Amino acid sequence: MNVTSKLRNHEILTREQEVEYAKKIEAGDRRARDKMIHANMRLATSIAKKYAGKGVDFEDLMQESTIGLMKAVDRFDWRKGFKFSTYAYWWILQTVKQYVESNKGPISLPANASARLYHASKVREDFEKEFGAAPSETELADLLGTTTGTLSSLRKSSAYYVSLDSTVRAGEDRRSYKDVLADHSLNPEEALEAAQTKKAVNEALAVLSPREQAVLRLRFGIEAQ
């Protein structure tokens, strides 16, 4: 019996069965998980076939496609009302595309940060259009084949920085950002006055009992010397 014939024999689950299996999987039922995977292997195979001839081995494509399917099975939340096949399609497709992109050349090179962030933005946008809700950070990271930590680092590395010497406004009033930023530090006179006041307060409190000192410090927020 060839692969196609075997796939035809796989049970196609109804919406009710998908929910039933999903609930069992949440409860740790490994058999239900296996059945959910097997029932959707036809979908995994069809996506792998679409990317055959892209410079990667079909067996590797099938492996990645199956990994995407397993991720979908493990992350499927039946409460959100998604049809599992639609949800699984996303996971399988993104897993396969990520594999093809990183292995299509003679040398695997990481995509630059801006390109990966653009791809992340596009995946998030398409996911929201398809499911009516944004993917979680974990879902987005898995769809991109990375980790939440890497995704966060990419965002931080692409942050836009402005020099404090840059001009805030044009025209006659040409001031830099450092000229208009609030300076909350004390000047020397204010710092000296604050130190003297603190010293005087602590000297006044010193004549009281430890309990009385503690009560006043807590009442007025006075720091210990």
Q: Does residue 158 have a pLDDT over 70? A: no
Q: Residue 53: how many CA atoms within 13 Å on its side-chain side?
A: 2
Q: What is the mean pLDDT of residues 14-19?
A: 90
Encode 127-166: b = buried (16+ Cβ within 10 Å), e = exposed. beeebeeebeeebbbbbbbbeeeebeebeeeeeeeeeeee
Q: What is the mean pLDDT of residues 149-155?
A: 79
Q: Which of 98 and 30 is assigned the larger pLDDT?
A: 30
* Tokens of residue 191, six digits: 């710092």
Residue 183: its pLDDT value, please? 57
- Domains of the chain with bracketed CATH: 3-105+116-157 (1.20.120.1810), 188-220 (no CATH)
Q: Which of 69 and 188 is assigned the larger pLDDT?
A: 69
Q: What is the mean pLDDT of residues 78-104?
A: 85
Q: Does residue 213 have a pLDDT over 90? A: no
Q: 42, 66, 62: which is closest to 52 by C-alpha?
A: 62
At 114-144, the pLDDT tens digits run 667 777 888 888 888 888 888 888 888 888 7
Residue 38 buriedness (CB in 10 A; 0-12 / 13-18 / 19+): middle
Residue 63: its pLDDT value, please? 93
